Chains A and B, each alone.
Chain A
Amino acid sequence: MRPGYKKVERMNGTMRTIHWVNVTSMIVAIATGLYIAHPYYQTFMADGAVDKYVMAWNRWGHFIVAIIFDVTSIIVFYLSFATRFLEKKPYEKDLPSGGNIREFFEVFLNLVTLNRRKKFDSSYLDSFNAVYFTIFHLLLAWMLLTGLQLYVHGLGAGVSSIGSWWPWMLHFITDWTIPVSGGSLMDVRISHHYTMWWLIVWVVFHIYYQVWRTIYWNEGDISIVIGGSKYVKDEES
């Protein structure tokens, strides 16, 4: 540890695991999702159909990672209110209080002034990143709802391997996405595809910003998601 710096624990094992599960899920979901949207590789004509099952496997992979992603998102949602690992619960940083709004703009100014101005405490989650992560979860929630709506019609007869409650519930919680996205299942489909691009853009900026922080703040931010901690100047030393 650099002298004069102290270690700040930011993500515990569970949170880091969830982060990397999400990363994997997202890569798989995009690769399989693009195939489902437009099958971009061909199968061998000579193989029997039963041996190929290519679209079916792509869809299987897409659904499995989607469900994993859904479950981790629900855990993250729960943790943002319930975590006892962090002193301040993440949701508190989203609230539009005067302090949070000021912090949000201070962090933003720090980014656009290329670190010429840094007037906030960077040891814990700041309001700018909290809002940015919240946007991610809203996009994910929309993917979850539209995705399940597209999926449930495959269970057209109202039964599934885990019982009829499952399609019933999916209809109940996702049917409203049809009128909201424009009136037909195609609109839901288009919206699901658009939202993928917003998520990709989200990720691109997220990675850039964390790397940028690491380089310019000199506080080892990038290691939060690997080792779980970062370093900040110890005021007392």
Chain B
Amino acid sequence: MSDRIEGVKKLFTSKSSRVDTNRGDTYYKELFARCQARLDELKAEQPVNNRVDISEMLETQGVDRRDFMKWVSATTAMLMLPSSFTPLVADAAMLMNRAPVIWLELQDCAGNSEALLRSDGPKIDEIVLDIISLEFHETLQAASGHQAEKQMDEAMEHFFGKYLLFVEGAIPMAMGGHYGTIGASGETFHDHLLRAAEGAAAVVAVGSCATFGGIPAASPNPTGAVGVMDVVKGKPLINIPACPANPANMVGVILHYILTGQVPELDSLLRPKFAFGYRIHDNCERRAHFDAGEYVEEWGDVGAKNNFCLYKMGCKGPMTFNNCSIVRYNEGVNWPIGVGRGCIGCSEPDFWDKYAYERPMADAKIKAPTGGVEKTVDEFGLGLLTAAGIGIGIHAAASLAAGKKSDDESGESK
């Protein structure tokens, strides 16, 4: 019973998805002073291990100061801060190497590491991510075996209570967690994660697998995969879902941490509101076609050639929270709807089962409430209606056959 009371309490006090972009002058003045003090403190500290200087790095990559400042002001806006914060955000980007990061890779495809590293430019987001002090990254590091484990232990000990733990990939829980083991000692992903999380200042789950279980957790979920938030308790936790997570949002979260020393404001699924506060649909470049009723009816038709709305091809933008319609991918080059295919809702829980079927929801095969049989909502509804119709038909026929007799006999009934 007390469990239930707790559950109800949690339900009605959980964080709202409401976005508040203007908190008033007093709030921002106070925040500005706090951020400035924190940055001064960080400036006094030495960079942890990664001694790469961002200004040098930008210069060698051919990014001039003006481009960098353009990126900074866009990032300031993305973090929902007033433009007066731009110099602070620039400072924070310079100080990215003060944040020790440990990166774990669990049950996934390494797509988020790919996103982190993607270097077709490299673009400023990726350069800034190169600057962070990545103390441990299973996929990227040269060390292996006992050596790698030693390195992780050292990093965890040295930066105890200070490092940000980035987790990529789901945690398999079935069969005692033995679907995924790591290292020479055969530690399960579950134990590995809990050990690394212990000394973390905050845990950042990156990508849909780490946040909600993602594709490994898709029905029937043979490995019993779950997300980090189902396993790690009692730590500040930030979810950056999407498949892969947008490097702009990873940078945003780290920058926010450097700038304020806190986790950004989160929604009920622990996603930062600056990135996941809005629906894709509301900022979509094809939105006007949605309102007009102009849809792509089949691939390659006139509508497709005219960039019509992809809703009838199964676009899930109206039910998906993410900022890819604003910041796009690869430094604003393009994004799924921009290339002419619908959104599959990759930043939402259970997206593979509930979003990614590439049909309008009304046509999707989803589990009927009775369980087991997969039906579309409308098939289920029609079934329900048929059952009701048959019941009524039987009752009506029986009533007709039995006649209007009532035991309340008074000669009136026929």
Q: Considering only CB atoms, which chain B residue lies closest to A187 in the complex?
A: B354
A34 to B363 CA separation, bound complex (whole angstroms):
12
Q: Tell me which residues from 394 to 414 in chain B have a Cβ below 8 Å from any Cβ of chain A.
A: 395-396, 398-399, 402, 404-408, 410, 412-413
A39 adjacent to chain B (CB < 8 Å): yes
Which residues from B are CB-within-8-Å of A115?
399, 404-406
Establish whether residues A186 and B345, one from each chain, have CB atoms under 8 Å apart when the complex forms: yes
Establish whether residues A116 and B407, one from each chain, have CB atoms under 8 Å apart when the complex forms: yes
Establish whether residues A38 and B312, one from each chain, have CB atoms under 8 Å apart when the complex forms: yes
Which residues from A are CB-within-8-Å of B20?
158
Establish whether residues A54 and B404, one from each chain, have CB atoms under 8 Å apart when the complex forms: no
A196 to B404 CA separation, bound complex (whole angstroms):
34
B48 adjacent to chain A (CB < 8 Å): no
Q: Considering only CB atoms, which chain B residue lies closest to A154 in the complex?
A: B282
Which residues from B are CB-within-8-Å of A194?
369, 377, 380-381
Q: For A204, give its contact among B14, B362, B369, B389 (CB under 8 Å).
A: B389
Q: State which size class the interface on A falls in.
A: 35 or more
Q: Tell me which residues from 164 to 194 in chain A have a Cβ below 8 Å from any Cβ of chain B.
A: 167-168, 171-172, 175-176, 178-180, 182-187, 189-190, 193-194
B250 adjacent to chain A (CB < 8 Å): no
B69 adjacent to chain A (CB < 8 Å): no
Which residues from A are CB-within-8-Å of B396?
208, 212
Establish whether residues B319 and A45, one from each chain, have CB atoms under 8 Å apart when the complex forms: no
Q: For B291, give its contact among A34, A53, A196, A208 (CB under 8 Å).
A: A53
A184 to B320 CA separation, bound complex (whole angstroms):
8
| Nearest 9 A/B pairs, CB to CB | A54-B293, A197-B381, A49-B292, A56-B291, A171-B18, A38-B362, A37-B362, A43-B293, A184-B348
Establish whether residues B388 and A168, one from each chain, have CB atoms under 8 Å apart when the complex forms: no
Establish whether residues A200 and B354, one from each chain, have CB atoms under 8 Å apart when the complex forms: no
A156 adjacent to chain B (CB < 8 Å): yes
> Which of the candidate stretches B30-38, B107-115, B148-156, B294-302 sits at the interface with the other chain?
B294-302
Which residues from B are CB-within-8-Å of A171?
16-18
Which residues from B are CB-within-8-Å of A50?
292
Establish whether residues A179 and B377, one from each chain, have CB atoms under 8 Å apart when the complex forms: no
Q: Considering only CB atoms, which chain B residue lies closest to A122 in the complex?
A: B408
Establish whether residues B21 and A157, one from each chain, have CB atoms under 8 Å apart when the complex forms: yes
Establish whether residues B361 and A186, one from each chain, have CB atoms under 8 Å apart when the complex forms: yes
Establish whether residues B292 and A54, one from each chain, have CB atoms under 8 Å apart when the complex forms: yes
B289 adjacent to chain A (CB < 8 Å): yes
- Give min CB distance, B338 to chain A, whole Å: 19
- Give min CB distance, B331 to chain A, whole Å: 24
Establish whether residues B316 and A43, one from each chain, have CB atoms under 8 Å apart when the complex forms: no
